[in-house]
Chain A
Amino acid sequence: MEKHFLILTVTVPLATATLIPLLSIRWERAGFWLASLALLFSFGSALILVGGVLVDGRIAYHVGGWAPPWGIEIFLDWVGAFFLLLASSLSLAVAIFSRIYVEQNLEASKIPLFYVLLLLLAGGMIGFILAGDIFNMFIFFEIFSLSSYALVAISGGLESLKASFRYLLMGTISSLFVLLGIGLLYSLTGTLYMPLLAQELGVLPYSGAIRAATALILVAFGIEAALFPLHVWLPGAHSLAPSPVSALLSGLVIKMGVYGMIKVLFYILGGRGSSEIGALFSLMAATAIIVGALFALRENDIKLIFAHSSVSQIGYVILGIYLFSYFGLAGGLLQVLNHALAKSALFLCAGVVISQAGFRRLEDLRGIGRRMPFLMVFFTIALASLASLPFTCGFASKYYLCKGAIERGEFWLAGIVLLGSFLTLLYCVKIVNYIFFATPAVGRGGGERSYPEVSPWMMVPIGVLGFGSLLVGIFPGLSFILIKPAVLGLLGMVR
Chain B
Amino acid sequence: MSTGNFLYGVAMLLFLIGFYTVLARPSLIKKIIGINIMETSVFLFLISVGSRRGGSAPIILSGVKDYVNPLPQVVVLMAMVIAVGTTALALSMAVKIFESSGAGERRG
A interface list, Cβ under 8 A from B:
135, 138-139, 142, 146, 149-150, 153, 156-158, 161-162, 164-166, 168-169, 172-173, 175-176, 179-180, 182-183, 186-187, 190, 192
Is B71's CB within 8 Å of the partner chain A? yes
One of B15, B35, B78, B79 near A169 (C-beta < 8 A): B35
User: Which B residues lie within 8 Å of A157 (CB)?
Assistant: 100
**Residues on B facing A (Cβ under 8 Å):** 15, 19, 22, 28, 31, 35, 38-39, 42, 45-46, 49, 69, 71-72, 75, 78-79, 82, 85-86, 89-90, 93-94, 96-97, 100-101, 108
Give CA–CA (A176, B97) in the complex, Å.
24
List the 4 shortest-distance A-B pairs measured between CB atoms, nearest first.
A187-B49, A158-B100, A183-B46, A142-B82
CA distance A176 to B34 in the complex (A): 12
Residues of B within 8 A of A169 (CB): 22, 31, 35, 90, 108
- Residues of chain A contacted by B93 (CB below 8 angstroms): 149, 153, 161, 164-165, 168
- Once A and B bind, how many residue pairs between them come within 8 Å at the CB atom? 82
Q: Is the CB of B86 within 8 A of A190?
A: no
Contact indicator B45/A180 (Cβ below 8 Å): yes
Q: Is the CB of B42 within 8 A of A186?
A: no
A69 to chain B, nearest CB (A): 11
Can you name the residue of chain A whose Cβ is closest to the Cβ of B95?
Answer: A161
Q: Roughly how many angstroms separate A454 CA and B22 CA in the complex, as a whole number?
A: 44
Contact (Cβ within 8 A) A173 B72:
no
B69→A190 contact, CB < 8 A? yes
Q: Are B45 and A183 in contact (CB under 8 A)?
A: yes
Q: A161-B100, A173-B38, A190-B69 are in contact. List 17 more A-B contacts (CB 8 A).
A: A149-B89, A150-B89, A153-B96, A161-B96, A165-B94, A168-B89, A169-B31, A169-B35, A169-B90, A169-B108, A172-B35, A172-B38, A173-B35, A176-B15, A176-B35, A180-B42, A183-B49
Q: When chains A and B are docked, how far (Å) is the Cα of A180 from the Cα of B108?
A: 26
Q: Which residues of A contact B97 (CB under 8 A)?
A: 158, 161-162, 165
Q: Within the assembled complex, what's the spacing in Å between the Cα atoms of A176 and B49?
A: 16
Residues of B within 8 A of A190 (CB): 69
CA distance A172 to B34 in the complex (A): 11
In the complex, the chain B residue whose C-beta lies closest to that of A173 is B22
A169→B107 CA distance, assembly (Å): 14
Is the Cβ of A173 less than 8 Å from the Cβ of B19? yes
Chain B residue contacts of A172, Cβ below 8 A: 35, 38, 86, 90
The 8 Å CB contact of A165, one of B28, B49, B72, B85, is B28
Q: A139-B78, A164-B93, A165-B108 are in contact. Are A183 and B42 (CB under 8 A)?
A: yes
Please name all residues of chain A whose beta carbon is closer than 8 Å to the beta carbon of B35 when the two chains form the complex. 169, 172-173, 176
Q: Indicate whether A139 sits within 8 Å of B86 (C-beta atoms), given known contacts A165-B108, A176-B42.
A: no
Across-interface contacts of A179 in B (CB, < 8 A)? 42, 46, 79
| CB-CB nearest in chain A for B78 | A139
27 CB < 8 A contacts A-B = A139-B78, A139-B82, A146-B89, A153-B93, A158-B101, A161-B93, A161-B96, A162-B108, A164-B93, A165-B94, A166-B108, A173-B22, A173-B38, A175-B82, A176-B15, A176-B39, A176-B42, A179-B46, A180-B42, A182-B75, A183-B49, A183-B72, A183-B75, A186-B49, A186-B71, A190-B69, A192-B75
